[in-house]
Amino acid sequence: MGPSDPKENTINYRIIFVLTLIHFTGDFYSSFFTPLLPAFVDKLSLTLAQVGLITGMVRFLSFIVQPVTGYLADRYETRGFVLSGLFFAFFFIPFSGIAPNFWMLLIVLCLGSIGSSMFHPSTTGMVPLYSGNRSGFSLSIFNTGGTLAFAVGPVFITWYVTQFGLERMPYTVILGAIAFFFCIKYLPIPISENLSHLGFIGSIKETLGKVYKSIFLIWIVMVLRAVTGQTFMTFMPIYLADKGHDLVTVGFIFSIFIMAGTFSGLLAGWLADRTDSKKIFFISHAFMAPALLLYLYLPGSFVYLGSFLAGFTVLASLPLGVVMAQKLAPRSRSMVSSLMMGFAYGLGGLFSPLVGKLADIYGLENVLFYSAFIPIVTLLPIMKFPKIE
Residue 3 pLDDT exceeds 50: no
Give me the domain span that covers residue 199.
13-383
**What confidence score (pLDDT) does residue 309 get?**
95
Q: Is 389 among the domain residues?
A: no
Q: What is the CATH number of the domain that holds 278?
A: 1.20.1250.20
Q: Is 5 among the domain residues?
A: no
Are the C-beta atoms of 154 and 258 separated by less than 8 Å? Answer: yes
Q: Is 2 among the domain residues?
A: no
Q: Is 52 among the domain residues?
A: yes
**Mean pLDDT on 9-26:** 87
**CA nearest 326: which of 282, 371, 273, 284?**
273
Terminal Cα-to-Cα distance of the chain (whole angstroms): 29
pLDDT band at 147; cut points 50, 70, 90 = confident
- Residues composing the chain: 389
Number of structural domains, the chain?
Answer: 1
**Mean pLDDT on 142-153:** 83
**What confidence score (pLDDT) does residue 203 get?**
54
Q: What region does 244 belong to: left with phi over 0, alpha with psi -120 to 50, or beta?
A: left
Distances 326 to 123, 195, 259 between C-alpha atoms, Å: 13, 16, 25
pLDDT band at 145; cut points 50, 70, 90 = confident
Q: Give the tens place of pLDDT for each residue, 181-239.
A: 998 988 888 765 555 545 555 555 555 667 777 888 888 898 899 889 888 988 888 88
Residue 123 pLDDT exceeds 80: yes
**Mean pLDDT on 161-176:** 92
Where in 106-255 does DSSP place strands (E)?
A: none
**What confidence score (pLDDT) does residue 47 get?**
84
Q: Is 274 among the domain residues?
A: yes
Average the pLDDT over each of 156-170, 244-258, 324-338 and give the range with the smallest value: 324-338
Among 105-119, 211-225, 240-254, 261-275, the range of highest mean pLDDT: 105-119
Q: Is 55 among the domain residues?
A: yes
**CA nearest 320: which of 277, 284, 287?**
277
**What confidence score (pLDDT) does residue 266 get?**
82
Distances 346 to 19, 133, 153 between C-alpha atoms, Å: 22, 30, 21
**What confidence score (pLDDT) does residue 2 get?**
43
Are the C-beta atoms of 154 and 342 separated by less than 8 Å? Answer: no
Q: Which amino acid is at 221?
A: V
Q: Which amino acid is at 165?
A: G
Are the C-beta atoms of 83 and 18 separated by less than 8 Å? Answer: no
**What confidence score (pLDDT) does residue 25 get?**
94
By CB atoms closer than 10 A (0-12, 13-18, 19+), residue 383 is exposed
Q: How far apart are CA 63 and CA 57, in angstroms?
A: 9
pLDDT higher at 350 or 226: 226
Q: Is 350 among the domain residues?
A: yes
Q: Give the tens place of pLDDT for each residue, 269-299.
A: 778 777 777 888 899 999 999 999 999 998 8
Among 91-95, 338-342, 345-349, the range of highest mean pLDDT: 91-95
Angle of CA points 380, 229, 295, to nearest 5°: 100
Residue 165 pLDDT exceeds 50: yes
**CA nearest 232: which of 119, 104, 375, 380?**
375
**What confidence score (pLDDT) does residue 6 get?**
53
**What confidence score (pLDDT) does residue 333 get?**
65
Q: Is 6 among the domain residues?
A: no
